[in-house]
Amino acid sequence: MQHGKYRFIVGFLALPLGLYALFVVWPFIQSIYYSFTDWTGLSPEFKMVGLDNYRRMLDDEIFWKSLQHSLIFALVLPLVTISLALFFSFMINVGGRKRRGGPVVTGVRGSSFYKIVYFFPQVLSIAIVALLFAFAYNPDSGAINSILRGIGLGSVQPLWLGDPSLALWAVMAVLVWSTVGFFVVLFSAGMASIPADLYEAALLDGAGRASTFFRITLPLLWDTVQSGWVYMGILALGAESFAVVQIMTTGPGGPDYSTTVMVLYVYQKAFRDGQAAYATTIGVALLVVTLAFAALVMRLGRRERLEY
Amino acid sequence: MKTTETPAPVPADSGTPVAKTDTRGGPARKEKKKEGGVLNVFSHGMLILWAFMVVMPLLWAVMTSFKDDSAIFNSPWALPDKLHFDNWSRAWTDANMSDYFLNTILVVAGSLIGTLVLGSMAAYVLARFDFPGNRFIYFLFIGGMSFPIMLALVPLFYVVNNMGLLNTIHGLILVYIAYSLPFTVFFLTAFFRTLPTSVAEAAFVDGASHSRTFFQIMLPMAKPGLISVGIFNFLGQWNQYMLPTVLNTDPDKRVLTQGLVQLAASQGYKGDWSGLFAGLVMAMIPVLVAYIIFQRQVVAGLTAGALK
């Protein structure tokens, strides 16, 4: 087995590792370095400016707004999405009634249909979803306001994306719509691996649905919920929120920066305003927020691992 | 679905799963059943409501794509007066959807093949060979799954620009491959570890070289894993929005998501909403069809990462 082993290893690793280092690792390291310079991105010249960019960031009102919005995204989105998904997947996998001759633990009728349908939005590009909802939110001819008119609420015609106090929530609702299905499927896979005799025992003891959920399903699913939480938070801070905010809100960034999130601000500073160094500084702040978020969730969620 | 609302006296059909072994008194049983009924109606209601909320926007988009512009504005929820197929043909030819499709197919085909070949090569070496630095390279790869891409995007733009790869299809392909490697390597490393070593060893003893063993024996054995991770990457690359937005600004090279967003922005002048909706629906169809056909593998691919 030894003959030519190292030549083989190097031959097989060189290309993938090279591409990865060139397009992912190297830019990543560079961006931290650039955050200490005054590089515009337009010309190759720049000089070191120490912590100037970081000082400027702390005085930047729009940065604080974007940070605030990103934090709302990272906290509210996982909470809403995961709660909904836990409820749905519990109903789909455990909430059913025993049918004669069937398994003890079963989902409600039509559960496989629900699982397939709920997942639909997940396979669509977030860009397409964002476009679709931008039309649905249109105050005059959009689907949502026309439903409101249809059910006699003609006086309630919000501007949705045009209203600074509503725009952020309207955008977040779209992300909830598009991600719940993924978590339903994820949690369903987790629930399928919980042994049925645990449920059987609980049912014999007379446990209802609620206590079955809180005493058995949730504790045994905790690891999955936690990693789902981190995953959703990273999405909410990163690419997904960029697409929805950039596409859906006017400006972009919403009326009076009411929907600007950190990723969008990085993009605007780098590619619209020609302030590449400052953009990477906000990017570093985004990295810190992401890591802090993940660490916090892991820490708060830590509990004794249950073996089964 | 409403069978449990009225307390049925037949034990076999009753809502309480423990009916046969329940030795407690009648009143307690009745009470629980009633509580279950209310919960049942609520739960089923929620499940149906969410299915409705997922399907309605999609149906609305399909419906709208067959209407003429005045109908879109005046009665968003009415059925089309007749099927305006001209929207579809206009979107396909005049609005350049055919070009966007072609570009997307080229980029995704190239990236998908590249990702699978390079990803499985790296994963195979990392899973099967012991060499100094193995763990380090493995963690370097999977570390890429959790950091915000936006941070690397600013320097990445200049790396790609300096190599003369900006606004080229092959440049986009290389970057897609690099950013798809973390999950692909992670998934396939775990997969190769589960494959039996004896077959590969036998082949090697018979005089096959390392690379021959890999391509003729290990790769065919890894087919199920390659399909799962391949579909995952297909969806991700087909739906990619952020990378092309930054790295691909030539109007002729636009991919679907970009093209649609640009189209929506320019519709403000042209006012061809019906054509845009036709384009949106067109872009949704391939992924929805792919999902329905490969539903099992999609779910396996998407959940494997988060469950570990």
What confidence category does residue B17 fall into, taking pLDDT thresholds of 50, 70 and 90? very low
Q: What share of chain A is helix, strand, coil (3-state, %, to 5)?
A: 70, 0, 30
Contact (CB<8Å) B137/A13: yes
Q: Is the pLDDT of residue B18 over 50?
A: no
Segment B289-308, tens digit of pLDDT? 888 888 877 777 666 655 44
Are the CB atoms for B191 and B225 separated by under 8 Å? Answer: yes
Contact (Cβ atoms closer than 8 angstroms) between residue B138 and residue A274: no
Task: Say whether A180 and B32 touch across the interface (CB within 8 A).
Answer: no
The share of chain B scoring above pLDDT 90, in percent, equals: 27
Q: Contact A41/A270 with Cβ under 8 angstroms?
A: yes
Residue A145's identity, in one-letter code, is N
Q: Is the peptide bond before A252 cis (omega within 30 degrees of 0)?
A: yes
The confidence score (pLDDT) of residue B302 equals: 66
Element (H, E) at B168: none
Q: How many CB atoms within 10 Å of residue B23?
A: 5
Residue A40, classed as helix, strand or coil, is coil
Question: Cβ of A307: how many Cβ atoms within 10 Å?
Answer: 5
Q: What gap in Å lies between CA B258 and CA B264, rounded to an integer?
A: 10
pLDDT for A200 equals 82
Amino acid found at B271: G
What integer pLDDT is reported at residue B23 of this predicted model?
40
Enter the tokens of residue A143: 């689907």
Is residue B43 predicted with pLDDT exceeding 50?
Answer: yes
pLDDT for the residue B270: 65
Please answer yes or no on whether B58 and A84 come within 8 Å at the CB atom: no
pLDDT (tens digit, 9 = 90+) per residue, A244-258? 998 888 776 777 888
Give the pLDDT score at B79: 75
- What was the pLDDT predicted at B269? 56
List, in order, residues 6 or more apart from A114 with CB less than 8 Å away. A88, A92, A184, B47, B50, B51
Cα pseudo-dihedral A53, B175, B284, A120, rounded to 10: -80
| Residue of A113, A114, A129, A132 for testing the chain B interface, max B β-carbons within 10 Å | A132
Q: Which residue of A has its CA nearest to B153?
A: A27
* Chain B nearest CA to A280, separation (Å): 6
Out of B43, B137, B290, closest to residue A95 by CB: B43
Q: Do A183 and B116 touch, CB atoms closer than 8 A?
A: no
- The answer to whether the pTM exceeds 0.90 is no
Q: Do residue A26 and residue B306 have CB atoms under 8 angstroms apart? A: no
Q: Cβ atoms within 10 A of the Cβ of B204, count?
A: 16
Set of chain A residues whose Cβ sits within 8 Å of the Cβ of B136: none
Q: Answer whether A283 sits within 8 Å of B150, measured CB to CB.
A: yes
Which residues share a beta bridge with A48?
A37
Interface membership of B42 toward A (CB under 8 Å): no
| Strand extents, DSSP E, chain B | none
The rounded distance, in Å, linking the Cα atoms of B140 and B137 is: 5
Q: Which residue of B has its CA nearest to A247?
A: B261
What is the interface size between A and B, counted as CB pairs within 8 Å? 284
Contact B233, B110 (CB under 8 A): no
Is the pLDDT assigned to residue B28 strictly greater than 60? Answer: no
User: What residues of chain A lie within 8 A of the CB of B113, using their CB?
Assistant: none
The predicted-structure confidence for B240-288, as pLDDT tens digits, reads as follows: 998 999 999 888 889 999 998 888 887 665 667 888 888 889 988 888 8
User: With contacts defined as CB-CB under 8 Å, which chain A residues touch B284?
Assistant: 124, 128
Q: Supply angle C-alpha A124, A130, A131, rounded to 5.
A: 100
Chain B residues within an 8 Å CB radius of A174: none
Say if the Cβ atoms of B299 and A181 lie within 8 Å.
Answer: no
pLDDT at A33: 92
Percent of chain B whose predicted confidence (pLDDT) is above 70: 83
User: Are B57 and A31 in contact (CB < 8 Å)?
Assistant: no
Chain A residue numbers touching B152 (CB-CB < 8 A) = 24, 27-28, 31
From chain A, the residues in CB contact with B75 under 8 A are: 146
pLDDT at B107: 96
Q: What is the pLDDT of residue A204?
A: 82
CB contact under 8 Å between A283 and B239, yes or no, is no
Query: What are the φ/ψ torsions at residue B274 (nearest 5 degrees)?
Result: -65, -40
Note whether A20 contacts B131, CB cutoff 8 Å. no
Tell me the chain B residues in contact with residue A119 when contact means C-beta distances shorter than 8 Å: 291, 295, 298-299
pLDDT value for B185: 94
- Place A69 in a pLDDT band, splitting at 50, 70 and 90: very high
- Distances in Å between the Cα of B2 and the Cα atoms of A103, B34, B40, B207 are 21, 12, 8, 68
Q: How confident is the model over A107-116, as a mean pLDDT? A: 80
Distance from CA of B196 to the nearest CA of A (A): 16
- Annotate B99-115 with DSSP letters as a single string: HHHHHHHHHHHHHHHHH
- What is the distance between the alpha carbons of residues A150 and A171, in angstroms, rounded to a whole number? 23
Kindly determine whether residue A126 and residue B239, on different chains, have CB atoms separated by under 8 Å: yes
Q: If you average pLDDT over every residue of chain A, what do you get?
A: 86
In angstroms, rounded to a whole number, what is the distance separating the alpha carbons of residues A271 and A249? 18
Reading the block at residue B123, the tokens are 């994963």
What kind and span of H or E run contains B11? none
What is the per-residue pLDDT across A190-219, written as a single tens digit (0 to 9) for each?
A: 888 888 888 888 888 887 778 888 888 888
Bridge partner list, A222:
none
Amino acid A284: pLDDT: 92
The reported pLDDT for the residue numbered A24 is 93
Least confident interval from A126-135, A216-225, B89-98, B114-123: B89-98
Greatest mean pLDDT range, A102-106, B35-39, B47-51: B47-51
What is the model's pLDDT at position B78?
A: 73
For chain A, give the number of residues.
Answer: 308
Q: In this model, does residue A104 exceed pLDDT 70?
A: no
Contacts for A167 with CB less than 8 Å, ≥ 6 apart: A160, A161, A249, A254, A255, A258, A259
Query: pLDDT by residue (tens digit) across B175-195?
Result: 999 999 998 999 899 888 888
Residue A185 DSSP SS3: helix
| Residue among A4, A132, A190 minimizing CB distance to B57 | A132
Please state, in angstroms and rounded to a whole number, the distance separating the CA atoms of residues A104 and B237.
41
- Worst-scoring range by mean pLDDT, A136-140, B151-155, B271-275? B271-275
Output DSSP code: residue B9.
S
Judged against a pLDDT cut of 50, whether residue B25 lies above it is answered with no
B53 contacts A177? CB cut-off 8 A: yes
Examine the pLDDT at A188 and tell me if it is beyond 80: yes
